[in-house]
Amino acid sequence: MATSFKKKVGNEFEEILKILSGELELREKEEKIKVLKKKAIESKKAETRKKIAEKDIVLEESDIPTKKVVQNIKLFEWEALERYEFKFEGKTLWIVLSAFLLFTLYLAILGQYWLMAAIISLVFFIYVAGTNKPGKIKHRITARGVDTGGKLYEWFMLNNFWFSIRNGQYFLILETKLRYPRAVILLLGEADKDAIFVLLQEKIFNSIGEVLEWSNRAHSKCAVGGFLNRGFKSHPLRFPNFKFLLKITTPFVRVWISIKSPIIQPFLILNYYIETVITL
């Protein structure tokens, strides 16, 4: 009895060992299959990437019309000051302050106190701009438009462009189709001008050489505003003194004219003087 019992137990152990060894072999085979399957998937992906890159695989054309996507790929980049650096000499500073003081007194006589506050704010802005050096900023021309300081002006937002120069500093003026800003002024170096011109002239109109006569502006709704927005075109390679300051005052002048204030005449005379004298 004891011998038969031992044999029976031994047979059961052998069967258990066979089952366990079979399970181990099965698990090993499953692991090998997983590894081979992973390698096959990676190999298939690599082959697909290669075919897509070589354009052997293309997307099927759809009947649904789709808009062509233009990626924001950088074509040209340059670094410049974020704004023009005002350098007021003693004589120039006194002339500017005297002009503003006389104009402020004239407004006080007419009781235009709200406009006086705007002029004083403008003087303070000019003072701050003249006493603080501007920082540097990167400008980019991309396949989608002009990127300045992280703000992208796409090609459909731009109307035309031209170059200007003052005291050896080159300016790129981009006239936009937006209500604000009407124009974007970027500083650049002389070495970058040709490359920028080649890229921009393929996308937007270059208005160099266009002359705007006084007679054409006088009949516009706002002669002063028209001059301030487009006056650079008369002499695209010259940047007259104080014109940049007058450009800042354009919003105030438009409000001024819209209410038909009696003090419009002196400003129109000043506008005519700037066109006929300063821009010569």
The closest alpha carbon to 234, from 261, 212, 258, belongs to: 212
pLDDT of residue 174: 92
Helices (H), the chain: 2-53, 90-110, 113-131, 190-200, 214-218, 223-230, 243-248, 250-258, 264-273
First and final CA of the chain: distance in angstroms?
131
E-strand ranges in 143-244 read 145-148, 151-154, 158-166, 169-176, 183-188, 205-206
pTM of this structure = 0.48
pLDDT of residue 275: 43
CB atoms within 10 A of CB 165: 14
Residue 149 Ramachandran class (φ > 0 left, ψ -120 to 50 alpha, else beta): left
Question: For tokens 């005519």, what's the residue?
Answer: 272
Sheet of 74-81: strand order equals 74-81, 136-142, 145-148, 151-154
What tokens were used for 144?
Answer: 């989608």
Q: Rounded distance, CA 252 to CA 20, Å?
A: 92
pLDDT in tens, the chain (280 residues): 556 655 555 666 666 666 666 667 777 778 888 888 888 888 888 887 777 777 776 666 666 666 776 777 888 999 988 887 766 666 766 777 788 888 888 888 888 778 888 878 877 777 776 667 778 889 999 989 999 988 899 999 999 999 988 888 889 999 999 988 888 999 998 888 889 999 998 889 887 644 333 333 333 333 333 333 333 343 333 333 444 445 545 545 544 444 444 444 455 444 444 444 333 3
Q: Please report, for the chain, the start and end positions of each structural domain, with discontinuous segments joined by +.
A: 74-278
Contact 141, 196 (CB under 8 A): yes
